[in-house]
Amino acid sequence: MKDFAQANAGKFENPAVTAKGEDRATVSLTNPQTLWFNTGTLCNIECVNCYIASSPTNDALVYITADEVRDYLGQITARNWPVTEIAFTGGEPFMNPQMIDITEASLEAGYDVLILTNAMRPMMRKSVLAGLTRLNAAYPGKLTLRISVDHYHADLHDAERGAGALEKTITGMTWLRDNGFRMAVAGRSVFGDSDEDSRAGYGAFYAEHGFDIDAYDPGMTVLFPEMDETVEVPEITTACWGILNKSPDAIMCASSRMVVKRKGAEKPAVLACTLLPYSPEFELGNSLEEAEKDVALNHPHCAKFCVLGGASCSA
């Protein structure tokens, strides 16, 4: 199997130009709608194809605190960003001991909140369930939990996440259903199903379990293209916008940023997007003001996931 260096030799090296010497495409932060926070890379499970390598032992990104989140919420106001959504990913967000306080701070500030979770044991702790119940009642319609369901067939889902994983996730989703929570699902295209077949399969899965989730709404059932760095992908030039009939304003880094806290760092940092937490060239600074700079599409994920795949992590 090719590694990244073999598959994309000479590419994605210069942020200004491609390997062929053409002007590399950049994206400006034109309409910031979502501010993401990585709550920490620790997770209760270790998935085969986790793009961020989350696991029970990976603490490369440490737990962000409620006070740190509040600081960035204040910066949104100070910078006059038109953000409507605060979103959280991990790791598993409910591993973070301050996750309920973090969620409450975001809701209290008036934002819609999206939490990505596997809905397994960390979410199902009594203290977490009590906190979620309280917040969902206090802020009706403002909280969404996006559940990771890699595939609607247990054997394929469990091949990624471990034996019995889907059954545990369904237990969590059933609790969310019975307690009136708004759910969405994140699936994956690694299995080779067509979009039509995937959505039909998820629709049948939702119907079987009584989950009120729209399989055909791409914001509610998000099917992520695979992010395999060993696959050769084209570089995106300034000419590509016209060739592909796409606007840079439609790309994820035109509307979002992500905050992470690296192990050993004095303070959090703001990244261009959720997909590249370990790529230092996509770290824009410590403040939202510093993060307003343009982003060069200098990574295979930029091409395959965002531009060609048309995907977005936001709702």
Instruction: Give tens-digit pLDDT for 177-211.
Output: 999 999 999 998 767 789 999 999 999 999 999 99
As for how many domains the chain has, the answer is: 1
Nearest to 68 by CA among 253, 270, 254: 270
Q: Is residue 315 part of a domain?
A: no
In a domain, 288, yes or no: yes
Nearest to residue 136, comparing CAs of 194, 177, 90? Answer: 177
Distance, in Å, from the CA atom of 220 to the CA atom of 82, rounded to the nearest integer, reads: 22
Q: Say what the pLDDT of residue 314 is.
A: 59
Structural domain harbouring 34: 4-307
Closest CA to 273 of 54, 55, 35: 35
Interval 228-280: pLDDT, tens: 666 788 899 999 999 999 999 999 999 999 999 999 999 999 999 888 898 88
| Domain membership flag for residue 313 | no
Averaged pLDDT of the chain: 92
Dihedral sign, Cα of residue 97, residue 99, residue 100, residue 104: positive
In a domain, 53, yes or no: yes
Domain CATH code at residue 240:
3.20.20.70
| Inside any domain, residue 253 | yes
In a domain, 60, yes or no: yes
Is 74 a domain residue? yes
Which tens digits make up the pLDDT trace of 52-102?
Answer: 889 999 999 999 999 999 999 999 999 999 999 999 999 999 999 999 999
In a domain, 211, yes or no: yes
Q: What pTM was computed for the model?
A: 0.93
Query: Residue 201, Cβ neighbours under 10 Å: how many?
Result: 17
Q: Is the peptide bond before 285 cis (omega within 30 degrees of 0)?
A: no
